């Protein structure tokens, strides 16, 4: 019988966790003839009672495993940690807020079982529950990165996908620090079947991604999967050299014909400011790549674990033994 591992990054999901667990257990029950389930929850440094909720779940259900980080490392790091811990034949990553419907797992599983595909990925046809600006921003981002990157980025793609062990191992073999998982999934290749679904609003709690975080995430994606901005800086430079050459010619000819009256100071200042701006912009782009390279060369761990269900159990036992003596 195949084992399906469900990896769930959780940040302040105290309220959604029990609902999520209940919903997936229901699906597991329906699929019990075909597959066994394993849960890998990753507590990404939550500030609410998420860890306690996870301890409780792990206590009552031995299929539940969890990792608890020493601080908030971000969803990408949490997914990586979960994928590393997962031991199933098929592995899926799901949000804890039930925006990814567990009922789809049945369909995804049966597609993989046919053997033609290595991965069943989902994309949402709508963005219910997200603000107008977020929708606009997302649309622009996908248009931009679609032009810039050779790695295909599917608009509306969720991180919710069921993958074979082989594909998971491929994703795990990329140990980069700046992880843009949507890109990594696409980068490893393999045959992916896309299915669509209607996105629901999150069941409880609120979104962890504000526009600032989302912007940083977008820059991460672009820098990780495209070097076009660097080339762009070069092209802008070339363009301005060309303009300068024409201007020099015009000025020489003008001076030869009409003499050299000193004027044009305001226009000069404008041009100076403009070019200064462009130069700083290009330096900024280079800086962004340099910064990422710098972080990458430090080889810092992607995440740090503070507690797992095993370490918690041991600690509890020790404490009990301590009180007995
Ligand atoms: N998440 C996380 N670490 C973070 C932010 C989010 O593990 O720093 C998790 C969160 O608990 C949820 C998933 O990532 O399971 C998606 O987050 P959210 O629903 O807030 O994002 P949205 O659906 O609004 O994009
Ligand atoms: Mg969500």
What are 190-225's pLDDT values in tens digits?
999 999 988 888 888 888 888 888 888 888 889 888
Cα–Cα distances in angstroms (integers) from residue 174 to residues 79, 169, 291, in the given order = 13, 9, 19
Report pLDDT for 288. 87
Q: How far apart are CA 325 and CA 319, in angstroms?
A: 10
3-state secondary structure 200-245: CCCCCCCCCCCHHHHHHHHHHHHHHHCCHHHHHHHHHHHHHHHHHH
Average pLDDT rounded to a whole number, residues 260-286: 80
For a substitution probing ligand 1, which of 42, 75, 214, 221 has the most ligand atoms within 8 Å of its CB? 75
Specify the higher pLDDT residue, 202 or 11: 11
In a domain, 279, yes or no: yes
Instruction: Check whether 5 has a pLDDT greater than 80.
Output: yes
**pLDDT of 308 over the 70 cut:** yes
Among the listed ranges 52-61, 138-147, 265-274, 284-293, which one has the minimum average pLDDT value? 265-274
Average pLDDT over every residue of 266-270 = 76
Distance in Å, CA 85 to ligand 2 centroid: 22
Residue 84 lies in a domain: yes
**Residue 182 alpha carbon to ligand 2 centre in Å:** 15
User: ∠ at Cα 40 (157, 47), nearest 5°?
Assistant: 85
**Banded model confidence at residue 20, pLDDT cuts 50, 70, 90:** very high
Which CATH number covers residue 90? 3.90.550.10
Phi/psi of residue 38, each to 5°? -140, 135
Q: How far is the CA of 227 from the centre of ligand 1 (A)?
A: 28
Domain match, 257 and 198 both: no
Please report, for the chain, how many H helices and E strands are present, in that order: 11, 8
- Is 135 contained in some domain? yes
Identify whether 195 is part of a domain: yes
Ligand nearest to the CA of 75: 1
pLDDT range class, residue 261, cuts 50, 70, 90: low
pLDDT number for residue 305? 94
How many residues are present in the chain?
325
pLDDT, residue 13, reads 92
137 and 285 together in one domain: no
Q: Is 222 exposed, middle or buried (0-12, 13-18, 19+ CB in 10 A)?
A: buried
Strand partners, 43: 10, 68
- Domain count for the chain, please give it: 2
- Rounded-to-5 percentages of helix, strand, coil across the chain: 55, 15, 30
- Ligand 1 site residues (CB inside 6 A) read 9-11, 13, 44, 72, 74-75, 78, 95-97, 99, 202, 207-209
How remote is the CA of residue 290 from the centroid of ligand 2, in Å?
32
Minimal-distance CA residue to ligand 1 atom 25:
209
Whether residue 191 sits in one domain with residue 85: yes
For 263-302, b/e burial (b = at least 16 CB within 10 A) is eeeeeeeeeeeeeeeeeeebeebeebeeebeeeeeeeeeb
Residue 324: inside a domain: no
pLDDT at site 239: 87
Q: Residue 251 domain-assigned?
A: yes
Signed CA dihedral, 2, 117, 82, 297: sign only: positive
Could you tell me the pLDDT band of residue 178, with boundaries at 50, 70 and 90? confident
How many other CB atoms are there within 10 angstroms of residue 123's CB atom? 16
Distance from the first to the final alpha carbon of the chain: 45
Q: Are residues 148 and 28 both part of a single domain?
A: yes
Domain presence at residue 268: yes
User: Sign of the C-alpha dihedral, residues 92, 96, 102, 107?
Assistant: negative
Residue 257 and residue 214 share a domain: no
- Judge if 174 and 158 occupy the same domain: yes
Is 246 in the same domain as 290?
yes
Counting ligands in written order, the one closest to the CA of 11 is 1
Which structural domain range is residue 113 located in?
Answer: 2-223+305-312
C-alpha 266 to ligand 1 mean position (Å): 51
Res 130 pLDDT > 80? no
Q: Are residues 100 and 233 in the same domain?
A: no
Residue whose structure tokens are 């269900």: 309
Whether 283 and 208 map to the same domain: the answer is: no
- Mean pLDDT within 22-44: 93
| In-domain check, residue 27 | yes
* Ligand 1 atom with the shortest distance to the CA of 12: 11
Whether 269 has a pLDDT exceeding 90, the answer reads no
pLDDT at 227: 86
Determine what percent of the chain is predicted with pLDDT higher than 90.
46
How high does pLDDT run on average in the chain?
89
- Do residues 161 and 178 share a domain? yes
Q: Let me know whether 136 and 260 are in one domain.
A: no
Q: Is the model's pLDDT at 236 over the cut of 90?
A: no
Q: Are residues 193 and 278 in the same domain?
A: no
């Amino acid at each position: 019988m195949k084992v399906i591992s469900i990896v769930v990054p959780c940040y302040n999901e105290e309220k959604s966790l029990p609902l999520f667990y209940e919903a997936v257990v229901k699906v597991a029950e329906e699929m019990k003839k075909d597959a066994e389930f394993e849960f890998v929850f990753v507590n990404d440094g939550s500030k609410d009672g998420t860890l306690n909720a996870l301890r409780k779940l792990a206590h009552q259900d031995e299929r539940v495993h969890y990792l608890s980080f020493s601080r908030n490392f971000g969803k990408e790091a949490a997914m990586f940690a979960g994928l590393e811990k997962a031991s199933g034949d098929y592995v899926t990553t799901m949000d804890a807020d039930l925006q990814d419907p567990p009922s789809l797992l049945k369909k995804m599983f049966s597609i993989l079982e046919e053997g033609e595909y290595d991965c069943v990925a989902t994309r949402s046809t709508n963005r219910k529950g997200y603000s107008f600006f977020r929708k606009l921003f997302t649309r622009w981002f996908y248009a931009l990165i679609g032009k810039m990157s050779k790695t295909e980025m599917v608009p509306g793609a969720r991180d919710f996908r069921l993958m074979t062990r082989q594909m998971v191992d491929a994703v795990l073999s990329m140990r980069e620090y700046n992880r843009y998982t949507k890109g990594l999934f696409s980068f490893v290749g393999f045959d992916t079947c896309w299915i669509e679904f209607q996105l629901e609003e999150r069941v409880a709690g609120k979104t962890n991604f504000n526009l600032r975080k989302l912007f940083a995430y977008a820059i991460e994606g672009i820098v990780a999967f495209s070097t076009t901005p660097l080339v762009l800086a070069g092209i802008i430079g070339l363009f301005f050299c060309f303009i300068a050459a024409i201007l020099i010619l015009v000025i020489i000819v003008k001076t030869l014909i009409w003499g050299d009256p000193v004027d044009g100071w305001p226009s000069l200042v404008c041009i100076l400011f403009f070019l200064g701006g462009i130069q700083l912009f290009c330096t900024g782009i280079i800086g962004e790549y340099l910064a990422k390279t710098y972080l990458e060369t430090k080889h810092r761990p992607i995440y740090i674990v503070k507690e797992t269900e095993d370490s918690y159990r041991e600690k509890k036992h020790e404490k009990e033994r301590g009180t007995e003596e």
